[in-house]
Structure 1
Amino acid sequence: MAELNSDEPFIDTNKLIFGIGQVQQITGVSGRQLRYWESQNYISPIDQKKGVSRQYSLHTLFLIFHINRFIQQGFTLQAAVDHAKEFDAQIPALRQFLKKQLKGVEISDDQTVIDFGYFNAQRTKRVYGVIDRNGQTFFEIRDVK
């Protein structure tokens, strides 16, 4: 299994910037909706020069995606924003956990196995996340040899 643990980011996500047209294409949210969400302070474009079209950060793109996802699930706009922001607040903890625990991924024809490292302080067992060929997911705890 290839080691994934590194303190260096794969890519500087602050440099990933999307124009309003790209955001509309990616998320399916209209420009009109985006401008309304901005007027309500639910989202913010990147500070820009006068005469330049709106641009959004990757972080805002994900927020827009999640707001829209919750709306499609039947939530009101305000509830969708609240849920999206709650989810957004959980991301740093998930990122930190995965950064420290993710040890590697092994892909074969019939399954993908994700190594989450040791299960216990004694280092006698490891935890693996498995995705089988049907897309089913589950955990396995294996003895260390």
Structure 2
Amino acid sequence: GLMCLRVFVKGDDEQYENLKESAMALGSAFQKVNFLRDLKADHEYLNRSYFPDTNLLELDEQSKARIVQEIKEDFALGFEGIVKLPNEAKFGVYTAYKYYYKLLQKLQRTPSLQIKNARIRVPNYQKFGLLAKSYVNYKLNLV
């Protein structure tokens, strides 16, 4: 998030500092969604766990709900920064935000047992829909 932010603000130090916290939160949200989605592979093949307070082998609905809430808080702070980005950078970041938020919603609706046993994804037709909606929102200055 921070490396991209420096490019997005074209080296403007004041704008960078104003958006830094939001960029870090958005980057964190993206990473945590990936970690939750890739739970099975990360644990089985890499022996990694990115949620220190959670025994991933025993992921239950309560633990998943706590993780999802934490990610939603990161997304909320991240979105505050998206609306303040320079217009040239806004569409791409907003589209990524919409995609990852949709994936989080799908993970939230998916039983924890299924998350532990399969990689959850957003179907391509929904990705195209998100792209189109993001473009319309961007063009209408709704972001």
Does the TM-score normalized on the shorter chain lie above 0.5?
Answer: no
TM bucket normalised to smaller: under 0.3
Higher relative contact order by CA 8 Å / sep ≥ 6: 1 or 2? 2
Q: Over alpha carbons, which structure has the higher Rg?
A: 1
Larger strand fraction of residues: 1
Q: TM-score, normalised by structure 1?
A: 0.27
1 or 2, which has the higher helix percentage?
2
